[in-house]
Chains A and B, each alone.
Chain A
Amino acid sequence: MIPNEAKKRLIQIVGAENYDDTKAGRLVYSYDATPQFQSLPDAVIAPRNTQEVAEIAKICNEYRIPIVPRGSGTNLCAGTCPVEGGIVLLFKHMNRILEIDEENLTATVQPGVITLDLMKAVEGKGLFYPPDPGSMKISTIGGNISENSGGLRGLKYGVTRDYVLGLEVVLANGDVIRTGGKLAKDVAGYDLTRLFVGSEGTLGIVTEATLKLIPMPETKQTMLALYQDLEAAARSVSKIIANQIIPATLEFLDQPTLEVVEDYARIGLPTDVKAVLLIEQDGPKEVVERDMKKMADICRSEQAVSVELARSEEEAEALRTARRAALSALARLKPTTILEDATVPRSEIAKMVKAINEIAAKYQLKICTFGHAGDGNLHPTCPTDARNREEMERVEKAFEEIFAKAIELGGTITGEHGVGAMKAPYLEWKLGPAGIAAMKAIKQALDPNNIMNPGKVFAKSTRKRVVVTR
């Protein structure tokens, strides 16, 4: 609950129209795209500038009110679910592209800018902002930074982290700091920029970001390779990389995923094969042609039943759109869709795919697998029904085994979605007690009262099963 005194002061800062504590107003910010989580905030506040954010932080720090910064609520680790109540901070007013600097190849933006809007704005100037999360049509840059979002181009271009040059951050005590800047090189002290990227709103609130842009690649080609054998597809991935080709995109979809994606997109995807690879290369024309030919040869040598180039950009875009919709399309199968994010070194992709299938069989579950095969980031996804308690328990056990397997293969529990509340119980598997202690020390130093997105990243007890709250 927010004390009356605090409420009065908060309203003074943002105005009554930007402070909402009606029941319906709170309910619609009680969730994000993570199926099992829902909890009501005490109020929803939309500040108009950094100064207001800083003052809000001060008040919340004084009264120990949790703050959950939220973009469009598309994240998949319950990172924007207010699990301990408090206020949800919206960035709908802070959504301007402040500058596109063509001389330094940077863009400076407010956190509420929609990712696709930024991409389009820089494309208009012949520039390229590569991070492209599946939700880019609606996700915000602030959210991308806080979750360190990946995407289809992660293999060649890296993830959001690799494009953040500088940040303006409001700390829990209301201090405003600036990290980095338009510089290519900067080794003055600790790299705070990297610390805040991917910190999931637990260390501070990003209120402005300077992003790196690169020149738009000259050309791009897209192809689809079809397989009747799952593991042959996975082997092709390792072989492509081993042949020293880094494609822009190397995506994997298995048959159940293909079926639902086609059901949604209706673009003529094959549904009678066991797996497909969606492959893209961009760059100078001759390099693209050479790489595409080499990759097609590799796929064929690994028993691809067909390898086909997209005939037009339209066709290629349809393929990419279909792939981006895979997660939500899987929700057609059953009412609850549990999507995971296990990642392994790419040489282990085939082993991981095999293990996922065995684990699914063991627990009598349908687990569909798709993901960014090129960077080892898989999304085993289980369509289930939260109302079926018995099946939900099997799902949880299966995913525990999948995470354990990923770690055994040298991987991690999340490659791009973040820890949030969803993976918090498993973080220690990856980091060990000393690793957790180091992270907690940083958290304690920056947010001693634990008001910044509490309940995320660190679990209250380890190895606690995910709790379904309906």
Chain B
Amino acid sequence: MTSKTDQALIQKAFQERMDEDELMNCMRCGFCLPSCPTYIESGQQEAQSPRGRIALMKAVVDGLIEPDEEVERSLSLCLGCRACEQVCPSGVRYGHLLEEARDIIAQHKRMPLHVRLVRKFVFAGLFPHQERMRKAASFLGWYQRSGLQTLVRKTGLLRLLPASFRQMERVLPDVPTAKELKNRPHRLNPDGSAKKRVAFFTGCLMDTMFMTTNDATMRLLQLAGCEVIIPPSQGCCGALHGHGGEKELAKELAKRNIAAFEQLDVEYIVTNAGGCGAFLLEYDHLLKDDPEWRDRAAAFAAKIKDISEVLVELGFHQLSLRVAPQTVTYQDSCHLRNVMRTAAAPRRLLQAIEGVEFREMKDADRCCGSAGIYNLVEPEMSMQILDYKMEMAKQTRATTIVTANPGCLLQMKLGIERAGLTESVRAVHLVDLLLEAAEGAQAARGEERIRQTS
């Protein structure tokens, strides 16, 4: 419950900080409604639509209503998938409005002590520090391998946790050992002659829990003919902070990353997680009021490119790629599609793999319900959205669901588990499948040579 004094402070901050022009640009045509997952899943509640949320934000600014619980509820139930921006003829930048509003509420709302402590630990104590992320991951790896996980599951200790955490625990990937969680090389040479010089954004979660996917990404870049630079001083992108109402922390992280990359003479800064890529791409907006950093942020943002776009540009899809025969469908990462505007490249790469029968699922561009930590804080709506997604996935009869963002990947794994499909369906990151395909083709060529010589 937000007290009346907190509400008054929030309202004042809304009036000072919300972009009134942007709020007015919404001309309430309603074109966004059919693209909004929460509007659809809530049974067409206007308050759960972008148009409704903008109306509420504007009403708070205009002093028509207080930022009461219903307003907070409406804003917190938004996935932030930004599908509405794609279809908005007026070009309203809804995501920016939402981010600002959430930041204002989070910064002015008095939260219970335990929530504040957890937030401080996660946002300030853990994510910005890669060595701590590694320690946390190696602890997780130890938990998985020591038999403790089996013990915990057997004894039912997990039942002490909320259902959403329990489910998440089950689908966490097998984390590398402390030894494997390595410090990154600073530079990698291309296979053959260099076509391009690029930098790689390793991310924080991606470089710990999903380290193998990062390894695969760099390997693909080498195969495609890239010299890869990996600056050691980079860190977490700050997306979780930005979306979770910790804008100031996000700005600090942004500055650290800009400084880490700006001296490099590279054509692109390559990302392999839609959520991070989209946030990096909007550093210029994040730092728009900072004269010292604004232009530097814009220069940084201009270089951000998803791995799939880079691979297509370098003709990777023309190489020989092969996997065992399987039916594949692709779940768009919302931020990759709606903010980075990358949708065709991943599909093109998948369709280039021999052995892949690609089947588009209905509403592939609709959010899977993962949305950062949304599935943990809004489990009910998240699972409702996920169950629809799995229904669509099932209809394709796909045995492989491909995604391009760690959150979506975990969510798909969760969906597969919920739908009882663990025996027949797997979820993989696009780059992992691509590396599998490149190695598969190599192996096949090897066999061919052996047959010919024998």
Chain A interface residues toward B at CB < 8 A: 22-25, 27-33, 35, 72-74, 90, 92-93, 114, 135, 137-139, 263-264, 325-329, 331-332, 335-337, 385-386, 470
Q: Decide if B223 is an interface residue (CB 8 Å cutoff).
A: no
- CB-CB under 8 A from B66, the residues of chain A are 23
Residue from the list A22, A29, A33, A332 in contact with B29, Cβ < 8 A: A33
B325 CB–A CB distance under 8 Å:
no
Who on chain B is nearest to A328 by CB? B89
Asked if A24 and B70 sit within 8 Å, CB to CB, the answer is: yes
A residues near B89, Cβ cutoff 8 Å: 264, 325-329, 331-332
Q: Are B65 and A24 in contact (CB under 8 A)?
A: yes
Q: A332 near B91 (CB under 8 angstroms)? A: yes
The reply on B439 being an interface residue by CB < 8 A is no
Contacts of B52 in A (CB 8 A): 28
Separation of A224 and B354 alpha carbons in the complex (Å): 41
- Closest A-chain residue to B71, C-beta based? A24
CB-defined interface of B16-39 with A at 8 Å, one 1/0 digit per residue? 000001001101111101100000
Question: Which B residues, 33 to 70, have Cβ-Cβ distances below 8 Å to chain A?
Answer: 33-34, 43-47, 52, 55-56, 59, 62, 64-66, 68, 70
Q: Would B29 and A28 count as touching, CB distance under 8 A?
A: no
In the complex, which of the residues A135, A264, A337, A470 contacts B30, with contact meaning CB atoms closer than 8 Å?
A135
Pairwise interchain contact A74-B29, C-beta atoms closer than 8 A = yes
A29 partner residues in chain B, CB cutoff 8 A? 46
CB of B30 within 8 A of CB of A331, answer: no
Q: Please state if B59 and A73 are interface contacts (CB–CB under 8 Å).
A: no
The reply to whether A332 and B47 contact each other, CB–CB distance below 8 Å, is: no
Residue of A nearest to B92 (CB): A331
Given A329-B89, A331-B25, are A27 and B64 also a contact pair (CB < 8 Å)? yes
- B212 beta carbon closer than 8 Å to chain A: no
In the bound complex, do residue B70 and residue A33 qualify as a contact, i.e. CB atoms below 8 Å apart? no
Complex formed: what's the CA distance from A272 to B43 in Å? 44
A328 and B47 in contact, given A23-B65, A24-B68, A31-B55 (Cβ under 8 angstroms): no
Contacts of B76 on A, CB cut-off 8 Å? none
Question: A27-B59, A27-B65, A28-B46 are known contacts. Are A35 and B34 too (CB-CB below 8 A)?
Answer: no
A328 to B84, CA, bound (A): 14
Question: A28 and B28: CB pair below 8 A?
Answer: no
Range class of the B interface residue count: 20 to 34
* CB <8 Å contact, B33 and A27: no
Q: Does B150 reach chain A (CB closer than 8 Å)?
A: no
Known: A28-B47, A137-B31. A331 touches B90 (CB 8 A): yes
- Cα–Cα, bound, A19→B62 (Å): 26
Q: Give the CA-CA distance A189 to B379 in the complex, in Å.
A: 57
Tell me if B47 and A24 are in contact (CB < 8 A).
yes
List of B residues within 8 angstroms of A327 by Cβ: 27, 29, 89
State the CA gap A161–B43 with chains docked (Å): 29
| Assembly CA distance A271 to B66 (angstroms) | 44
Nearest residue, chain B, Cβ from A337:
B27
Cα(A139)–Cα(B44), bound, Å: 12
Contact B55 A27 (CB under 8 A): yes
Closest residue to B49 on the A side, CB-wise?
A28
Chosen A-B contacts, 6 in total, with CB atoms closer than 8 Å, are A22-B68, A24-B47, A24-B56, A264-B91, A328-B29, A332-B89
Chain B residues within an 8 Å CB radius of A28? 46-47, 52, 55-56
- Using Cβ atoms and an 8 Å threshold, which residues of chain B touch A73? 28, 30, 46
CA distance in complex: A470, B71 (Å)? 20
**What's the nearest-Cβ distance from chain B to residue A62, in Å?**
28
| Residue of A23, A27, A329 with most chain B CB atoms under a 10 A cut-off | A27
Say yes or no for B351: interface residue by CB 8 A criterion: no
Residues on B with beta carbons closer than 8 Å to the beta carbon of A328: 27, 29, 31, 88-90
Q: How far is the CA of A332 from the CA of B90 in the complex (A)?
A: 5
A30-B55, A73-B46, A92-B45 given; name 19 further pairs at CB < 8 Å.
A23-B68, A24-B65, A24-B68, A24-B70, A27-B55, A27-B59, A28-B56, A33-B27, A33-B30, A35-B27, A72-B44, A73-B30, A93-B43, A325-B31, A327-B89, A329-B89, A332-B25, A332-B90, A385-B24
How far is B90's CA from A326's CA once the two chains are assembled, in angstroms? Answer: 9
Q: Which residues of A contact B43 (CB under 8 A)?
A: 92-93
What is the CA–CA distance of A22 and B69 in the complex, to the nearest angstrom?
10
- Which residues of A lie under 8 Å from residue B46 when comparing CB positions? 28-29, 73
- How far apart sit A137 and B74, CA to CA, in the bound complex (Å)? 23
Q: How far is the CB of A269 from chain B (nearest CB, A)?
A: 14
Q: Which residue of A lies closest to B46 (CB)?
A: A28
Within 8 A of A (CB), among B227-284: none
CA distance A135 to B46 in the complex (A): 16
Question: In the complex, what residues of A have CB within 8 A of residue B34's CB?
Answer: 114, 137-138
* A30 to B73 Cα, complex, angstroms: 19
A23 B70 Cβ-Cβ under 8 A = yes
With A24-B68, A470-B62 as contacts: A335 and B55 at CB distance below 8 Å? no
Q: Mark B75-100, 1 if CB is under 8 A from A, else 0.
A: 00000000000001111000000000
CB distance from A10 to the nearest CB of B (A): 19
In the bound complex, CA of A161 to CA of B89 (Å): 28
Most chain B beta-carbon neighbours within 10 Å: one of A23, A90, A331 = A331
| Contact mask for chain B residues 84-124; partner A; CB cutoff 8 A; 1 contact, 0 none | 00001111000000000000000000000000000000000
Within the assembled complex, what's the spacing in Å between the Cα atoms of A22 and B74?
13
- Contact across chains for A138 and B31 when beta carbons are under 8 A apart: yes
Shortest B69–chain A CB gap in Å is 8
Chain A min CB distance to B8 (Å): 15
- Taking CB atoms, residues of chain B closer than 8 Å to A335 are 21, 24-25
Q: Please indicate the chain A residues that have their CB under 8 angstroms from the CB of B74 in the complex.
A: 24
Return chain A residues, CB-CB under 8 Å to B71. Answer: 24
Say which residue of B21, B30, B55 sits within 8 Å of A138 (CB atoms): B30
Given the known inter-chain contacts A25-B70, A28-B47, please indicate yes or no for A138 contacting B33, CB distance below 8 A: yes
The 3 closest A-B pairs by CB, nearest first: A328-B89, A24-B70, A335-B24
Q: How far is the CA of A322 from the CA of B381 in the complex (A)?
A: 33
> Which chain B positions have C-beta within 8 A of A135?
29-31
Of the residues B28, B31, B45, B56, contact of A32 by C-beta under 8 Å: B28
Q: Would you call B30 and A72 a contact (CB within 8 A)?
A: yes
Point out the residues of chain B lying under 8 angstroms from A74, CB to CB.
Answer: 29-30
Residue of A nearest to B26 (CB): A331
Closest Cβ of chain B to A240, distance in Å, is 28
Tell me the minimal C-beta distance from A176 to chain B in angstroms: 24
Interfacial chain A residues near B44, Cβ < 8 Å: 72, 90, 92
Question: Cβ of A337: which chain B residues have Cβ within 8 Å of it?
Answer: 27, 90
Please determine whether A25 and B90 come into contact, CB atoms closer than 8 angstroms: no
